[in-house]
Amino acid sequence: MAKTEVVPIALRGVDVLNHSLINKGTAFSAMERSELGLVGLIPPHISSIEEQIKRSYRNFSQKRAPLEKYDSLMGLMSRNELLFYQFAMRHIAEVLPILYTPTVGDAAMQYSWIYFHQRGLYLSYEQKDLLDEAFANYPQNEIDVIVVTDGERILGLGDLGVGGMTIPIGKLSLYTLFAGIHPAKTLPILLDVGTNNQALLQDELYLGWRKTRLTGKEYDEFIERFVVAAKKRYPKALIQWEDFGRNNARKILNRYKEQMLCFNDDIQGTAAVALAALFAAVAAKKEKLSDQKVVIMGAGSAGTGIADLIATAMQNEGLSSDEACARIYLIDIDGLICFNSKTTDEAQQPYVKAQAVLKDWRLHSEMISLMDVVRNVHPTILVGVCAQGGIFTKEIIQEMSRHTERPIIFPLSNPTPKAECTPEEAIQWTDGKAILATGSPFAPVEYQGEIFHIAQCNNVYIFPAIGLGALAAQACRVTEGMFLEAAHALASFSAARKDPHAALLPPVEQVRNLSRQIAMAVAKRACVEKVAKVPLGNLEQEIENRFWEPSYPNYVYCISSSSLGHNNQ
């Protein structure tokens, strides 16, 4: 429960109003206004939090374009974070698509035009020798979570350079909203290693390093410099790798996942939330995951991450590693990953199909297309993470549905125009039999008098709870088992297990409460795998101790105080 505390601060006057983590706007009491030197600096009416939320919502609602709403939210966050989080929690279903996908993609594309001051660090390669100085300049001495990107693969939009900073900012606000991580203990970081986006390089307003993107040894060395500097300044922080390009994402994860507390949300978080939805979908069919045949369109970081976690889950149900991988088919831009693929990377290797597997297939060209795979494999699950809008055509969906009573179809690419198909299309093309989850938010679909609710496979169901659980357990590593446990925990809350028209995942309004329970499952798994320092019996209290509530404290002036208003800690 939220507690009203007396918090000493060493700021007065406009310095109070200019500090977003302390500022209460018109909610300062008469005593606070007198003691903190605020008399005359704000309107005389003392607002309740309810009045402030109502005022904020009216302002938010009057904005018409999503990007205008985004600017409104960022402005509120920059002025008064306690109010921002209370407002966002109250109206989370409306706020989430603005604060994160799909609108955050628009903000990333226009970042250099709409730039606003926000907490965080911009670490440029041209200042590679000054990383310690940059971290020292950051005023917070205690950080729990760092989200870092190099801006190369922002959602399904590609290389947006310095504009990628919107992603760590957005993700960390979700850590606070859904897992109670104090905003002052979060740090968004943009590693500016240049961009290959020519439109950005030619834009006179572009705020990033105007060089083509760094690669090879220099890039790897810069990542290492960042890791060393980050762990030196914040040795206990969890690092979440976010929206790195295909050539770097898994390489970075594999290099550092055994050395420190870190994970890649695009590889592991996406996989876990997709797996949770799949667990719910096969339960609704009263089947097992290990009985399914899975086709994944998109064989990059997200696709191989999903494949790996599905394979692990199938092995837990009794299949061998080879048997599990044999049931998963990966398709890339050049077709099915198989013996004659032009190139395959290490992550794709377990899923390469041998010539003997394909010898009886009916094919129409040398490149084995999605339609070829669907026609020959008869998949029961079709997942899209290729960012090619509309690639799940009517012909493909209908061919799939001819061979399975209730096809499981997950068009997970975002933002919305990148979705492989829409829920309405999938439901119409399968006569209402499809079981769906999407990457972007979609409204319920009405078909033949029935309403179908569509789950959004939003990583927010998983990554905040993973972070909270790992921190509460004081884990030294984030393991695959912790993600698997999170997926099982999330799936257990699915209403679709009993209602065929319910969404596969719970409403987003429930995520803040569910995060505690998922975090507990994650922390327990950390103890089982012996990567935790906190004893099993102390985990629940650790989670509660870390779960911040954005309530206003009572401030008193104290010249010797170093507090930044970190109440409820």
User: Is 433 designated active site?
Assistant: no
As beta bridge partners, residue 456 has 438
317, two tokens: 């149900």
494-497 LR contacts (CB < 8 Å, sep 24+): 494/276, 494/277, 494/279, 494/280, 494/283, 494/284, 496/280, 496/281, 496/283, 496/284, 496/435, 496/455, 497/280, 497/283, 497/284
Q: What is the DSSP string of 310-361?
A: HHHHHHHTT--HHHHHHTEEEEETTEE-BTT-S---GGGGGGPBPHHHHTT-
37: left (phi over 0), alpha (psi -120 to 50) or beta: left
Residue 297, by phi and psi: left (phi above 0), alpha (psi -120 to 50) or beta?
A: beta
Q: Residue 8 has what DSSP assignment?
A: E
Catalytic residue (choose from 69, 70, 85, 100):
100
Q: Which of 69, 70, 85, 171 is catalytic?
A: 171
9 contacts 555 by C-beta, under 8 angstroms: yes
Residue 378, both tokens: 């008869």
| C-alpha–C-alpha distance, residues 338 and 355, integer Å | 8
Q: Cα 3 vs. chain centroid, distance in angstroms? A: 29
Whether residue 8 is preceded by a cis peptide bond, meaning omega within 30 degrees of 0, is no
Q: DSSP readout, 283-296?
A: HHTT--GGG--EEE
The single-letter DSSP state of residue 268 is I
How many angstroms separate the CA atoms of 167 and 160, rounded? 11
> What are the distances in angstroms from CA 252 to CA 224, 249, 478?
9, 5, 14
Annotated catalytic, 100?
yes
In angstroms, rounded to a whole number, what is the distance separating the alpha carbons of residues 302 and 267?
5
Residue with tokens 């309405």: 424
> Which residues are the active-site residues?
100, 171
